[in-house]
Structure 1
């Protein structure tokens, strides 16, 4: 482990030579960059009273990209030296050919700081991290005699990037990430149920290892497990649904957010393609993607092309007003980049991706929305889900949900799934609570084999006529 800052042009490459190679790779291209990265991560998992895994990973490399029209030439290497860079130039130039394009202007610069640049891995010693996990395990078992298994994990990472553009513009960013998760299994007379809680962000480990923080997560995981212990089979049928605030915004992210990414719309494969300026949601619905929120999991000072992150309005009062763009799709669609060009690592080319995607709150009291339900579901926790980008159809499983009849919250239900499509769900929103909240910092988003950290959020939302999949007759 090293505390030396990542300065690739001080130790690995000569900057002038690297710039010359990049300029040769992008000669006749519309765009391109040299993306250099060092990434370190540590993970500890304490499961059922013992250390199950302890890992430390380190990687370093570069990605060289040249773009002409819709074609991208991309080469990457874990060796950061002049020879590897010269080979990458040959590969990238295959996409450019002998074209006569002109390079797009470089992104604007920013001095904004959204998070610390301290290494979270070094924020606590290994023995302290291990002892914290042991304390979580003991604390959970002391809370309730029905606890039979506890899994607790601590993860920390530091990504350092430098982006060099053909005009000589250079930007660097240091991106920390931490997360603590707790999962608990309870047993009551042979019936076993599970509950999980966790979160984090671009923050140090000191706050995450504070007993007040992990004890709250542990209590929440136990609460969910005990709720599920008394859950009844979920009903099935078409019914009104109230979604809780915060993490249930993952449904918004998947069912709507991906459909508003620029590449899907440029290619016409999104359910929202060609609808700019038209009403796609109920009045009052405003959705943003905002990478500028300090310390949040999905935030980035600038994206992986060097464009400063933005607070981008996607839907305003029900009207589609914007998509999320990287530089290539923005140029091809004749609009400005939005700071959403992201990549998993140096081994991947950037593409339009979400950062922190959320729906603004309304004026209704959350309790009033539940009181409006005559016969429906109140869903406050979600697990996995699937969505088809071309038509927006989604299926999401609930990890915590309740049956509601005549405005009264009844028994928790198990096995509930929400089925619908994003476009219809947007238009069937009947009311928005005044309690907009962001998730606790646990989201990851996959697209075309790449994973990036993201955030989600929303207020309490009343949606009419979703299909609920379950095992009981409504």
Structure 2
């Protein structure tokens, strides 16, 4: 049975008293709010034929924030009560001092609904989830005799939030999240390789537990693993690169996305600081951050300050036209918030974060883009990566890539890493495919120790002159 709806002012606090305490805490401040949250999550992992993990977590609490200028006082607690709120109020006030501030207007309201409010954990019985994991394991092993290990994961969570403003306004959101992952390891002639596929979103578990969904994930994981069985050492050097559609947008997310967040630009630490209105990418390149796409992993009806999410154009036809903003940085930069104020939980202060960040497609046929590659790498899958926000330099590892010479796709390559910097890579884009796609719903983004779910996307893209690190010649 699902838990009762999260109503903190019915069960924990008197709303009028909470608003009064909040107003006292924000006396002289320019902004702030009381953020209340309840979160429940469940994860089941089957590894090598056995249930390795079956976990259930539940938490709730609040965070109180007081903002003045560049300073923010923040206090949080796991106990939602009047006494805890008073203690948090006193703590948050210490950071902002007395007087001088004029309270910013509250966020605009919205009646939009982007996803279901049903609890996905309660959407399927526990024995059904366990049996589905066993079916995934058996199915993947039956696909190919070279499969020696299977790992399958079913995860679901529900986050319920309420945001109280000092003027008394209250906004709420209920955010489901689900995901199914399949990983396989294959062995042939003493060589082992792995492949992983998965995804989900702000949807119920019903569709993800349907055989046609997880079977396609198992087949894709096996396909990647078998490709890598035949992979040769990746070449090293400077060469043109073609990136596949969808998940390879993670390179876009990391290499330039963080650099377009408001706080880094206000402080001048981004490689894009001071370049508003200038040509920072090749003509035809348009990049958006869009939290309004229904059911997507990175979507949010409202952000964690209560601002409705937006469809925000960041780069238009190569020109820098916008940054992602929370309320504090937007106010300090003299612009409007964009619905990108996000936090990991009640224990974290909000900051500008991405939602679903993607590059629009062009007109080129993807096959023609690969056919125009004279000597380079066609990279269609990515693993981990790192980026330096101050200069945009990135390093990304490929999980599936192919050698291409004179337009002919050759052997898969293993151990390829792409090295470059985001600002330079944007200018080196030579072609945009007509196949823009979003990722299957598996991204998480880290910033200053906070993790939030995100989405990425792009079309097939050719980038000239990236450095490829590899072990081959």
What TM-score, normalized to structure 2?
1.00
Secondary structure at the residue paired with 2:236? strand
SS at match of 1:271: coil
Q: Give the match for residue 259 of structure 1.
A: 259
The separation in 2 between residues aligned to 1:234 and 1:446, in whole angstroms, is 29
Instruction: Give the structure 1 partner of residue 138 of structure 2.
Output: 138
Residue 307 of structure 2 corresponds to which residue in structure 1?
Answer: 307
Aligned counterparts of 2:101 and 2:141: Cα–Cα separation in 1 = 65
The answer to whether 1:31 aligns with 2:31 is yes
Q: Distance in 1 between matches of 2:5 and 2:435?
A: 41
CA distance in 1, matches of 2:169, 2:358: 32
- Matched with 1:42 is 42
Aligned to 1:382: 382
Instruction: Say whether residues 1:249 and 2:256 are aligned partners.
Output: no
* 1:166 aligns to 2:161 (yes or no): no
After TM superposition, give the deviation of residue 289 of structure 1 in Å. 0.1
Task: Tell whether the 8 Å contact from 2:200 to 2:441 is kept in structure 1 after alignment.
Answer: yes
Measured in 2, the distance between the counterparts of 1:103 and 1:181 equals 46
- How do 1:431-470 residues align onto structure 2 when only pairs under 5 Å count? 431-470=431-470
1:99 is displaced (CA, Å) by 2.4
State the TM-score, normalizing by the size of structure 1: 0.99
Aligned residues: 473
Instruction: Report Cα offsets for 1:50-108 as digits up to 9, x if no partner.
Output: 00000000000000000000000000000000110000000010122112211000000
Report the alpha carbon displacement of residue 312 of structure 1 after superposing the two structures with TM. Answer: 0.1
Aligned mates of 2:75, 2:411 — CA distance in 1: 55
Q: Distance in 1 between matches of 2:147 and 2:103?
A: 61
**Aligned partners of 2:197 and 2:323: how far apart in 1?**
32
Counterparts of 1:405 and 1:431, CA distance in 2: 17
Q: Return the alpha-carbon distance in structure 1 between the equivalents of residues 438 and 233 of structure 2.
A: 29
Q: 2:323 & 2:88 partners in 1: Cα distance? A: 32
Task: Note if 1:101 corresponds to 2:101.
Answer: yes
What secondary structure sits across from 1:61 in the alignment?
Answer: strand
| 3-state SS, counterpart of residue 46 of structure 2 | strand
Take 1:316 and 1:333, find their aligned partners in 2: how far apart are those partners? 21
Range with greater deviation from structure 2 (99-108 or 259-268): 99-108
Equivalent residue number for residue 72 of structure 2: 72
Please state whether the residue corresponding to 1:472 is helix, strand or coil. coil
- Does the 8 Å CA contact 2:45/2:52 hold for their aligned counterparts? yes
Kept in 1, the 8 Å contact 2:48–2:151? The answer is yes
Equivalent position of 2:117 in the other structure: 117
Q: Which runs of 5+ in 2 are unaligned?
A: none
- Work out whether 1:127 is the aligned partner of 2:141: no
CA deviations 1:16-56 (Å, max 9, x no partner) are: 00000000010000000000000000000000000000000
Report the CA distance between 1:457 and its aligned residue: 0.1
Q: Which residue of 1 aligns with 2:348?
A: 348
Q: Is the 8 A contact 2:354 2:454 kept in 1?
A: yes
State the partner residue of 1:334.
334
Q: Is the 8 A contact 2:2 2:122 kept in 1?
A: no
Aligned mates of 1:189, 1:465 — CA distance in 2: 36
Q: Write out aligned runs for 1:423-438 (5 A).
A: 423-438=423-438
Structure 2 residue matching 1:358: 3-state secondary structure: strand
Asked if 1:185 corresponds to 2:192, the answer is no
1:340-359 deviation digits (Å, cap 9, x = unpaired)? 00000000000000000000
Match of 1:272 in 2: 272
Could you say which residue in structure 2 is the equivalent of 1:4? 4
**1:316 alignment partner in structure 2:** 316
* In the alignment, structure 1 residue 399 sits paired with structure 2 residue 409: no
Matched, 1:419 2:426: no
Between the aligned partners of 2:240 and 2:62, the Cα distance in structure 1 is: 50
Which residue matches 1:298? 298
Q: Deviations over 1:314-336 (max 9, x none)?
A: 00000000000000000000000
Per-residue deviation, 1:3? 2.4
Q: d(CA) in 2 for partners of 1:436 and 1:25?
A: 47
Map 1:228-247 to 2 at 5 A: 228-247=228-247
Taking the aligned partners of 2:98 and 2:123, their CA distance within structure 1 comes to 51
Partner Cα separation in structure 2 for residue 133 and residue 229 of structure 1: 25
2 CA distance for matches of 1:415 and 1:172? 46
Q: Secondary structure at the match of 2:463?
A: strand
Q: Specify the SS of the correspondent of 1:235.
A: coil
* Distance in 1 between residues matched to 2:362 and 2:3, nearest whole Å: 46
The corresponding residue for 1:21 is 21
Residue 371 of structure 1: aligned partner: 371
Q: Distance in 2 between matches of 1:48 and 1:2?
A: 31
Residue number in structure 2 paired with 1:358: 358
Q: Which runs of 4+ in 1 moved over 3 A?
A: none
Return the offset for 1:2.
4.2
1-structure distance, mates of 2:415, 2:40: 38
